[in-house]
Chain A
C-alpha cells in the first residue's frame, strides 16, 4: 500500500496524518513534511498514524529526526498506532522519543 501524508498547523500544533507503508522510499516524503512544519516552530507535533500499516527502519528514524529538528521541548504524539508498530517501537527503543496516545488532545 502506498504511503500518504498530509499536514496542517493549528494553534502552534503540527498535525501530520500518515497512511500506508512508510519505508525507505517514502521516508523522504515524511522528512520533507517534517521540515516544512518545523519551519513554523510548532509547540507540539501530532502524528495521526491509525492508517499506517508498516513502518520500516528508515521511517522510525524520521521520528528521531523530527525530535532533533524540533528540539527536546517539543513533544511528539503518536495517535493510535497499530500494534505491530508499537511492538517495533518498543523493541528498537524508538518509543522513548514519542508519546503513544489514543486521541489528541490527550
Chain B
C-alpha cells in the first residue's frame, strides 16, 4: 500500500479540541501511551472511577499545560482511551486524575487532587539523575513519559543458553562500578557495566542477574542515621514505582531521557559476548506502602484491583513492606504478563528472578492457591516460552515453598536449603552428610520430578553476608542501618574462624581464604545452577553488615582494588568457574540414576569417603567424596573426564583412598584448597598427574578436585 493511502485514514485526524489541544477517540489496547501517526494513544483502566482526566506537562514544568477530561463516549467498559495530536514525544510528561469514591472500607481511595502515574508508562521522570535533590513541593513527582521503541537490535536475540549451563553473577547496577577504583568513565550506570564486560568474560560467568532496575525512588523512606548523620536511602531498589520503566538514575544518559537506549545497548553487548541478562523483578508490592503511604499510581487509579485488601480495607502485608500486589486478580495478572512480555520482546531479556515469588501464588484473600493462575500463565506464555523463570520461593508472610513451588515444568527457584546446608557444613556442623549429598547432586530430594536445573544453588546473595563475611563474622553488625542492629537475618550459619571481624592473625586469614575457596569449589561442582554474589570472587566485605539495603557508599560499592589485595581468591574463583564450564559432567539436567546405564564400568555417580566406595554417612562424619563418571556426562549425551571431588570439613588432615580408574587413565590434580596460592589450583588442561594414584591427603577443612583422564 502506498504511503499516501495511510494518510487518508480518517482516524489520523482530530475530532475534538480543548484549549488548542486536538484529540479524538482512542484505541482501548494496548494500555499505556503509544505513539501513533500524528499523535499519542492514551489508554487506562479503572473499575470504579467515575471520570478520568488526562494531564499534560511540559518536561519539568511545575504546572500542567493542559487537562483533558475523557468524554463519556470515550469510555469503553472500564477503560478510557484517547488519541491526542501534535505532542512532542521528547518533552511530554503525562498523568491522570481519577475521580471516584474515597471509601477505604470498600477498597476505594480515589483522590482527584492527585496526579497519577500511568501503570503502563515506559519511562518515568522525576529521578532522572541518581540522588539528585528532588523538589519536594512537586505536585507530580513521578511523571509518565514516552519512549522510542525503535532500537536497532541488528541480529541480536535472547541467547537461550541451556539453563543447566548458566553461571549466574548477581550484581547491582550502581554498586558494580560506582567505586572510584572501578576505573570506568560512567560510574554506577548501565554504560559502566558495559565497560566491564571484558572483566565478566575473564571471570567466566555467562549470566548477569541485575538487582531491580525498574524505576524506583531512592529517596523512599530515606532518613538520616542519628549516629553518623549519613543519609540512608532505598539503595537496593526493591520497591517498584513502575514495572515497565527502567531506572533512569542508572543511566548516564538518563538526564537526556535515553535510559532505554543505554540499557538496550548494554544488553546487546552482553549478548554479543555470550552473557545472558536476568532481571530481579519485584511484583509482590509497590512503592505506595500501606494506608499511610503516598498515592503515586495504582492506589489512586484502582486500589481495589491492584492491592490485596483486608475486609476492613487495609493492606495485607505479605511482602513486609506495607502492601501486597493483587497478583491473581485477572487485571493485575494481565499487567504482569504484559510487562514481562514487554521486557522479553523489547529489551531481549533472557529471564526473570521473581522476588518473594510465593506471593504470586496467593489468592486475592491472601490464601495460597493450589493452581495459581498467574504462575501457570507465565509458565505457558508463548512470548516467555524460552525465558528463564526463577522464583524466590518464599514470602514475608511465612509461605515457604522451596521444593514445592508450583512449577508447571518451567519454574526454577532459589534453593535456600542449598545455602543453609552448605553454610552449616562449611562451619563444621556434623550430621549433615546425607543432606549435603542431596545438595551436591542437585537436590533430588526437593526436585525429584523437576531435574537438577530446578534449583539455583547459592551460598550468598544480596541478602545476608558476603562470602568473605561468612567466614569473618559470627554475628551481624548492622548498626550503620540505624535500626539498633534489629534488622537483617539472625540465622546466618556463619563462622568467624576465630576472631570477629578484621584481624592481623595470619593463621585466621589463611583459613578464611581457604574457606572461601572451599565454598566456591563446592558451589561449582554441585549439580544445579550456581549463582555467585558480585564481589565474592575477590573477597568483598560489608564489614559484617548483612542487610545493606540503605547504603550508597563503600558498604555496597564494589572496591576493585580487592582483586589485588585478594589476588589468590580472584584467580581461584576464575579457575573454578572455568573448570565448571569446561566439564559437562558437572552440568546434568536430569538427576543421576546411581547406575551404569552407559556400560562404562562405573555408575554415573558414586559416593566415597576416607575409604573408596564407602562413604561415611554417620552422625559424626564431616567428610564426603563424590566421583562423577565422565562417560555419563550430560546424562549420558556427552563424554567428559571423570571428576572426583573430596571435601574434608574436619579440623584435622585425613587420607582419602581413591577409587581405581581404568588402566589407561590416571588421576590429575585440578584443585587442592589446602595448598597456598598459586598451588591451590592448576590451569585447565595442564593439570599435573597425582603422585600417589591410590590415596590423597586432604588438609584440614579443605577440598580436592581430581580429574580422571
Q: CB-CB contacts of B359-370 with A at 8 A, as 1s and 0s?
A: 000000000000
Majority SS at the chain B contact face: loop
State the Cβ distance, B65 to closest chain A Cβ, in Å: 15
* Contact present for B152 and A91 (CB under 8 Å): no
* Contact present for B256 and A88 (CB under 8 Å): yes
B89: which of A58, A92, A96, A97 is its contact (CB, 8 Å)? A58
Q: How far is the CA of A64 from the CA of B191 in the complex (A)?
A: 20
A54 to chain B: closest residue by CB: B256
Q: How far is the CA of A87 from the CA of B255 in the complex (A)?
A: 13
Q: Which of the 9-residue segments B257-265, B510-518, B534-542, B664-672 touches chain A? A: B257-265
State the Cβ distance, A25 to closest chain B Cβ, in Å: 7
* Contact present for A64 and B90 (CB under 8 Å): no
* Contact present for B253 and A91 (CB under 8 Å): yes
* Contact present for A88 and B88 (CB under 8 Å): no
B261: which of A23, A25, A92, A97 is its contact (CB, 8 Å)? A92
Q: At the interface, yes or no: A35 with Cβ under 8 Å from chain B?
A: no
* Contact present for B252 and A24 (CB under 8 Å): no
Q: Which residues of A contact B88 (CB under 8 A)?
A: 24-25
Q: At the interface, yes or no: A6 with Cβ under 8 Å from chain B?
A: no
* Contact present for B148 and A91 (CB under 8 Å): no
Q: At the interface, yes or no: B618 with Cβ under 8 Å from chain A?
A: no
Q: How far is the CA of A23 from the CA of B253 in the complex (A)?
A: 15
Q: At the interface, yes or no: A56 with Cβ under 8 Å from chain B?
A: yes
* Contact present for B90 and A91 (CB under 8 Å): no
Q: How far is the CA of A62 from the CA of B194 in the complex (A)?
A: 24
A94-B256 contact in complex given A24-B90, A58-B89, C-beta closer than 8 Å: no
A93-B258 contact in complex given A24-B91, A58-B90, C-beta closer than 8 Å: no
Q: How far is the CA of A97 from the CA of B152 in the complex (A)?
A: 10
Q: CB-CB contacts of B175-212 with A at 8 A, as 1s and 0s?
A: 00000000001100111001000000000000000000
Counting chain B CB atoms within 10 Å of each CB, which of A24, A56, A61, A90 scores highest? A90
* Contact present for A57 and B265 (CB under 8 Å): no
Q: Which A residues between 17 and 68 are near B, CB-CB below 8 angstroms?
A: 23-25, 56-58, 60-61, 64
Q: At the interface, yes or no: B174 with Cβ under 8 Å from chain A?
A: no
* Contact present for B91 and A61 (CB under 8 Å): no
* Contact present for B89 and A93 (CB under 8 Å): no
Q: How far is the CA of A97 from the CA of B417 in the complex (A)?
A: 49
Q: How far is the CA of A61 from the CA of B269 in the complex (A)?
A: 19
Q: Which residues of B contact A57 (CB under 8 A)?
A: 90, 148, 256-258, 261
Q: Which A residues between 82 and 106 are near B, CB-CB below 8 angstroms?
A: 87-88, 90-94, 96-97
* Contact present for B261 and A56 (CB under 8 Å): no
Q: How far is the CA of A56 from the CA of B258 in the complex (A)?
A: 8
Q: How far is the CA of A56 from the CA of B91 in the complex (A)?
A: 10
* Contact present for A24 and B261 (CB under 8 Å): no
Interface size class of A (residues with CB under 8 A): 10 to 19
Q: How far is the CA of A25 from the CA of B58 in the complex (A)?
A: 13
Q: How far is the CA of A94 from the CA of B191 in the complex (A)?
A: 13
Q: How far is the CA of A87 from the CA of B261 in the complex (A)?
A: 13
Q: At the interface, yes or no: B268 with Cβ under 8 Å from chain A?
A: yes
* Contact present for B253 and A24 (CB under 8 Å): no
Q: How far is the CA of A16 from the CA of B687 in the complex (A)?
A: 61
* Contact present for A93 and B90 (CB under 8 Å): no
Q: CB-CB contacts of B264-291 with A at 8 A, as 1s and 0s?
A: 1100110000000000000000000000
Q: Which residues of A contact B189 (CB under 8 A)?
A: 91
A95 to chain B: closest residue by CB: B265
A90 to chain B: closest residue by CB: B191
A27 to chain B: closest residue by CB: B90
Q: At the interface, yes or no: B150 with Cβ under 8 Å from chain A?
A: yes
Q: Which residues of A contact B256 (CB under 8 A)?
A: 56-57, 88
Q: How far is the CA of A58 from the CA of B256 in the complex (A)?
A: 11
A64 to chain B: closest residue by CB: B152
State the Cβ distance, A61 to closest chain B Cβ, in Å: 6
* Contact present for A24 and B262 (CB under 8 Å): no
* Contact present for B90 and A88 (CB under 8 Å): no
Q: How far is the CA of A93 from the CA of B148 in the complex (A)?
A: 14
Q: How far is the CA of A41 from the CA of B150 in the complex (A)?
A: 25
Q: How far is the CA of A97 from the CA of B265 in the complex (A)?
A: 13
State the Cβ distance, A83 to closest chain B Cβ, in Å: 11
A65 to chain B: closest residue by CB: B150
Q: Which residues of A contact B185 (CB under 8 A)?
A: 87
* Contact present for B191 and A61 (CB under 8 Å): no
A92: which of B91, B150, B265 is its contact (CB, 8 Å)? B265
Q: Which residues of B contact A87 (CB under 8 A)?
A: 185-186, 252
Q: Which residues of B contact A61 (CB under 8 A)?
A: 148, 150
Q: How far is the CA of A20 from the CA of B252 in the complex (A)?
A: 22
Instruction: Provide 17 A-B residue pairs closer than 8 Å at the C-beta atoms, listed in order of the A residue.
Output: A23-B91, A56-B90, A56-B257, A57-B257, A57-B258, A57-B261, A58-B148, A61-B148, A87-B185, A88-B258, A91-B186, A91-B251, A91-B262, A92-B262, A93-B152, A93-B264, A93-B265
Given contacts A87-B185, A93-B268, 19 further A-B contacts (CB under 8 A): A23-B90, A24-B90, A24-B91, A56-B90, A57-B257, A57-B261, A61-B148, A61-B150, A64-B150, A87-B252, A88-B253, A88-B258, A90-B191, A91-B190, A91-B194, A92-B253, A92-B258, A92-B261, A93-B151
3 closest residue pairs by CB, A with B: A93-B265, A92-B261, A24-B90
